[in-house]
Structures are given as structure tokens and as C-alpha cells.
Amino acid sequence: MRSELIVVCGAGGFIGGHLVAELQRQGCQAIRAVDIKPVEEWFQRFPGVDNMKLNLQEADACVRAVDGAHTVSNLAADMGGMGFIENNKALCMLSVLINTHLCMAAHKHRVQRYFYASSACVYAADKQVSPDVVALKESDAYPAEPEDGYGWEKLFSERMCRHFREDFDLATRIARYHNVYGPLGTYAGGREKAPAAVCRKVIQAKFSGAHEIEIWGDGRQTRSFMYIEDCLKGTQAILASDIVEPINLGSNELVTINELVDIVEAIAGIKLARTYNTKAPKGVNGRNSDNTLIKKLIGWEPSIRLRDGLEKTYRWIYDQMAKHA
């Protein structure tokens, strides 16, 4: 049994909630879960966990959050899908306060290991202009031209972690997440990501009988999507490793958004007429994860096919929406 205090920041959110659940399954005895939302609004809550409602953009809150901690995982950010991050650049940038103050507090309290959840949005735009994208390797983040707002905050925070490691011996680890999805997450309201949004739209079409769906962009833009279980395994492996530079954590199963819709339609047993909103936020034309380095260094690779992960995600969202249908 692990008795050292583990702090999960952003624990009321999607990945953070799943991480707390996994830590409990592994027998961790001392877990502190921190989020800005009221505890009753968290996606997952667990008995025996020290749940704290704190605004981690504030320095004093970060000091309280990490007091006594052995390990800190920072998954806290004001973020969402492409619709949110393209229209809320200032809010996304303000998340830099969270990582800055957490690094300072972790140094002050002599935290032994600090994990930062970065994003594939750090990658240079000129490497993502074609749907036939070459999978992005870690060095493709420089020369820097990340996603405006959210991507710049992530890239800056990566550098903050690096310099706290170099100057203050804070043992930092950084994963660049590529589109994590799964059940027990946001699927409506404007902050949801593509897999959840597509599931919701298909379910809405099924419930309403209006067999049509609006797709943002032309449907030819490409992405890879990583199921939450693979994300958790990779995150913990990176945290325990000697990898000090940012490293990709994502699937390399590349699909178009049209193909994503195809898969969800097949799960739902329905076929929908498609309209394309080319004025809606759609992000870069192509993005995929090059997993060469992480496979070489720690042997990690995703194990869950997109079709299988989407089926689990669809079933959960369907059950949630059926309650209010």
C-alpha cells in the first residue's frame, strides 16, 4: 500500500476524476483531490479522499493544495473542445497561473514528483496544414507556433516546469495529451471535445427522429483520439519514469472527422444526412501522434481501438441523455 500523499489537481474534471479512481483501485491510501468546482459538481467523487474546493489560480490556494504532498499531478485548466478554446483565448491563457503557482508551492513544500498535463496543441501550425499529416514528434513543437491562447499557455507552462527542474531540482514530468476521450466527461454545453460531441449529436438525432447531423469544418480534417484507460496507464508510466522532456501521449490511429461520425453511426445503428458548417471552429487540418519515443523509452503504446473506446463512450452518453429524454 502506498501511504505518501498524492494530490490530483483538476480532480473534478474528466481525466482528473478517472485518475483519482485509478489511484484508489491501486490501493493508494492518501489522496487529495482539488478542483475549482463545488464538490457536488465533480464528475466523480470517492469516499476516503480529501476533497478540496480551491481556485488554483491563487498562490495561497496552491500552497494549501500541495501541503504535505509527495506527488502532485496538475490536470487543472480552464479548457474545453475547439469551440471553447478558439473563443476563450484569454481564459485559456490564465491557466498559466495554475501551473506557475503550483510549481512554486511544490518547490516550497519539497514535493518529490510533479506531473504536468500538456497538450498536442503546443505543436507548430505549419506542421498541421494537411489532413495527410505526418505524425508529430516531440521536436515539432519548435520553432514555436502553437494553437493561439491555449497552446501558448501549455508551451509556456512546459518551459516553466523545465526551469523549475533545472533551477530548483523539482522533479517534473510532462505528457503532451492527444485528444483524450471516454465516459464520465463533458458531452454538452460547449466544452465537449469531438468524440463526445459526435456521440451527443447522433443520440439527439436518434431521439428526435430528425436523421441529420451538423459537422464542424468540411469533415476531412484528421485527428487521433486516445481512450481514457490508455491515458491513465501512460500518465502513470511517465510520472514514474526518468523522462524529463515533454513526451507524446496519444493514439496514432488517424481518422477523419467524417470517419469518426461513420463509427458512431455504426454503433448507434443509424445513418444521418450531413451538413457541414465551414464557419465553425475546426482547429488544424491534421494532427497525429508519433509514439516512437515513448515506445522506445518505456514501452507504452495504446491498446484500445477507437471503435471499442467510442462504443463505451457512446453507451455512457446515451444513458445520461436517456434520463432526460
Q: Give the strand pairing for 6-9 and 31-35.
A: parallel
Phi, psi angle pair for 92, to nearest 5°: -65, -40
Please give the helix or strand (H or E) that residue 68 lies within, else none.
none
Contact predicate 165/111, CB 8 Å: no
* pLDDT at residue number 79: 85
Q: How far apart are CA 66 and CA 61, in angstroms?
A: 9
Q: How far apart are CA 291 and CA 4, in angstroms?
A: 31
> pLDDT tens, 112-144?
999 999 999 999 999 999 999 999 999 999 999
Task: Catalogue the active-site residues.
Answer: 150
Query: pLDDT band for position 1 (50/70/90)?
Result: very low
Query: pLDDT band for position 283 (50/70/90)?
Result: confident
* pLDDT at residue number 318: 98
In sequence order, what E strands does the chain have? 6-9, 31-35, 50-53, 71-74, 113-119, 172-177, 180-181, 212-216, 222-223, 226-227, 247-249, 255-256, 273-277
pTM, full prediction = 0.96
Please give the helix or strand (H or E) that residue 200 lies within, else none.
helix 194-208
> pLDDT tens, 208-236?
999 999 999 999 999 999 999 999 999 99
* pLDDT at residue number 80: 82
Contact predicate 56/65, CB 8 Å: yes
Q: How far apart are CA 186 and CA 206, in angstroms?
A: 20
Neighbours of 132 (CB within 10 A): 11
Q: How far apart are CA 285 and CA 117, in angstroms?
A: 23
Q: How far is CA 278 from CA 81, 179, 219, 221, in A?
A: 16, 21, 9, 11
Q: Indicate if the pLDDT at residue 314 is higher than 60.
A: yes
| % of the chain with per-residue pLDDT over 70 | 99
Query: pLDDT band for position 81 (50/70/90)?
Result: confident
* pLDDT at residue number 82: 81
- DSSP code for 278: T
Q: How far apart are CA 69 and CA 113, in angstroms?
A: 9
Q: 3-state secondary structure string, 205-267?
A: HHHHCCCEEEEECCCCCEECCEEHHHHHHHHHHHHHCCCCCCEEECCCCCEEHHHHHHHHHHH
Q: If you average pLDDT over every residue of the chain, what do you get? A: 96
Q: Indicate if the pLDDT at residue 181 is higher than 50.
A: yes
